[in-house]
Structure 1
Amino acid sequence: MAYDEQLANQVRELLSDREDVTEKEMFSGICFMVDHKMCICVSGTELLCRIGSAKVGVELENGNCRNMMNNGRIMKDYVYVEDTAIDNLKKLKYWVDLCLEFNPMAKLSKKKG
């Protein structure tokens, strides 16, 4: 699984003050689960951010991300953020904060059993 280790470490550092973070390999990268819910992933050199549909609309208008597609369907709460939109810690923190802001409202995925 090839993903930007430095970017993953930066995300890890920004989440280090929380006790409810776990890591899981998925989406061809590493996902940071907060309160057992997918919050933010590092996939290649990009971030997959779960920010909620309202913020997705705003951020798409800003032109610094794109929709996440799954089997031809837009995943309404998620966006991919390119490396140029997270090329410094302040920009990265902005996206991490958006993900953390939405996390309490995010639905918990059903366990596969």
Structure 2
Amino acid sequence: MTYDEQLAARVRELMAEHGPAEEKAMFGGLAFLLEGHMAVCVSHDGGLLVRTDGSESEELLSQKHVGPMVMGSQSSRTWLRIDAAALGTDVELAAWLARGVTTARAQPPKPGVRSGRARSSRAPRPR
């Protein structure tokens, strides 16, 4: 199953409010990165994966349509799976995006990443 293109378009539009985001195909879905850090990912299983700092995980997991992200047999403490049913309005989606954006921006800078765009890995051309 491929990711939901309509949800990706909504995420793209709402993420623009937070500055330039890099889009990258990851885990069969479409991830949105800010300065090299993943904030959210439109999942190939439907819905959205949202990065959190883990401090509110228990409270958030008690909400309807929210579960842990599971890869293989491991569940994440900092990534949540939000079912499409909880993303019906732009207000609902924007709230989840804001959580992922806040968490991504709180991460330390990644080497080689500046202003939302990765630097080229190629050596400069001699003059």
Is TM (by shorter chain) over 0.5?
A: yes
CA–CA distance in 2 between the matches of 1:9 and 1:41? 12
Gaps of 5+ in 1: none
> Does 1:39 find its partner at 2:39?
yes
CA–CA distance in 1 between the matches of 2:35 and 2:110? 11
CA–CA distance in 1 between the matches of 2:18 and 2:93? 17
> Does 1:53 find its partner at 2:54?
yes
Taking structure 2 as the reference length, what is the TM-score of the superposition? 0.77
CA–CA distance in 2 between the matches of 1:90 and 1:17? 13
- Corresponding position of 1:22: 22
Cα distance, 1:108 vs structure 2: 6.9
Aligned Cα RMSD in Å?
Answer: 2.2
2:59 aligned counterpart, secondary structure: helix
Q: What per-residue deviation string (whole Å, max 9, x for no partner) do you get for residues 14-62 of structure 1? A: 1113444101001211000111011100013210110121132221022
Which protein has the bigger helix share?
1
Q: Is the 8 A contact 1:51 1:99 kept in 2?
A: yes
Cα distance, 1:66 vs structure 2: 0.5
Residues 25 and 108 of structure 1, relative CA distance in 2, 3 Å threshold: farther
Gaps of 5+ in 2: 112-127
Higher Cα Rg: structure 1 or 2?
2
- Corresponding position of 1:10: 10
- Corresponding position of 1:102: 103
User: Which amino acid in the other structure matches residue 86 of structure 1?
Assistant: L
2:16 aligned counterpart, secondary structure: coil
CA–CA distance in 2 between the matches of 1:109 and 1:86? 30
Residues 99 and 5 of structure 1, relative CA distance in 2, 3 Å threshold: same
Q: Is the 8 A contact 1:86 1:92 kept in 2?
A: yes
- Identity rate, percent: 26
